[in-house]
Amino acid sequence: MIQNQWYVILESNEIKMGKPIGVTRMGEKMVAWRDSAGKAAVMSDLCPHRGVALSIGGVKGDAIQCPFHGFEYDQSGACTYIPANGRNAEPPKAMRAHAYETREAHGFVYIWWGNGRETYPPLPFFEAIGPDFVYATLRDPWATHYSRAIENQLDVVHLPFVHRTTIGRGGKMLVNGPLTKVSQPVEGQTLLDLWVFNEKDEGQKPRRAAELPEPTRHPFLQFIYPNLWHNWIAEDIRVLVAFAPIDNENTLMYLRYYHKIKTPVLRQINEFFGKIGNFVIERQDRPVVITQRPLRSDLDIGEKLIPGDGPIIAYRKIRRELIESGEKRE
């Protein structure tokens, strides 16, 4: 994983008031819960007293309670009450559960994966998806590393083969470019913008990225590190994917269909067909991608890449730079 980054790990509606939820993310067992004000917290799913899962406990006011001996912990991880020691006894400072810096925005739950700090960078999201959009979500597990799942969404070469009956119809096998631009729109964030120029092969040579004209329209695809992808289908229709890392061999895909229809019945119909479309396309990808080896993508893993793989090469280079930069800060 890339250190010192905000990762989307859950949707907000998965954490209910009064009921902790246990999940595996980043290869670690975690518990998510809300205090009496509804504020979300994510902690290690481990009571430091005797190693019991806090996720099978309960919430008491502003604390999560261990089901084994009743120890209570606040959202910072500090133990606030040990019943066996009495209500007036101050718990030892060492009695602390590990808590992750947690934020909520855009219907997602983010955790900071890395070193704690006084100030944190802004949460990653796409400016082009404003508050006038509504969405419906499809969740699907993929048995592969999250980097492979991400790369699939940056791969324009596979479209006429894997998606020959859907978004790859038309036989546009010749890949011009594609054109990839890297920027840092805000501090601590890296954005990839991608323009696609696939066309039918009539015997012409494909143009390299440097030979393509400067784009005059918005990007077709966008990706913000470490795990958010955006497909700009139309002004009023978007698809977003958050690639939540479960562990080194599994990823949970949060596929959102965004639109602007808010009339209740029309919204339900639109979202039903939008989710079906996402599911069909995503399920064309999944059986192929989960066969890729090695599971974890990186530079120099033995693959023989071509010019059309430019976005994947860019993704890998930046990911490696971010990993190395994060390791230096540890």
Same structural domain, 138 and 67 = no
Q: Is 216 helix (H, G, I), strand (E, B) or coil?
A: coil
Any idea how long the chain is?
A: 330
**Interval 56-69: pLDDT, tens:** 999 999 999 999 99
Q: Given this model, what pLDDT does residue 193 score?
A: 97
44 located within any domain: yes
Q: Given this model, what pLDDT does residue 112 score?
A: 97
Q: Given this model, what pLDDT does residue 187 score?
A: 83
What stretches in the chain show pLDDT beneath 70?
327-330
First to last CA, the chain: 13
Q: Given this model, what pLDDT does residue 325 score?
A: 85
Structural tokens at position 201: 């092969």
Q: Is the dihedral of CA 61, 66, 71, 74 positive or negative?
A: negative
Same structural domain, 278 and 139 = yes
Same structural domain, 95 and 146 = no
Q: Given this model, what pLDDT does residue 330 score?
A: 39
Q: Given this model, what pLDDT does residue 326 score?
A: 76
Residue with tokens 């739950």: 109
Q: Dihedrals φ, ψ of 243, to 5°? A: -100, 90
Q: What is the pTM of this model?
A: 0.94
Q: Given this model, what pLDDT does residue 5 score?
A: 95
Name every residue whose Cβ is closer than 8 Å to that of residue 244 and which is 6 or more positions away in sequence. 7, 8, 9, 10, 25, 146, 227, 251, 252, 253, 254
For residue 15, what are the domain limits?
Answer: 5-113
Tally of domains in the chain:
2
Same structural domain, 95 and 180 = no
152 located within any domain: yes
CB-based contact 41:102 (threshold 8 Å): yes
CATH number for the domain spanning 43: value is: 2.102.10.10
Q: Given this model, what pLDDT does residue 329 score?
A: 44
Same structural domain, 33 and 182 = no
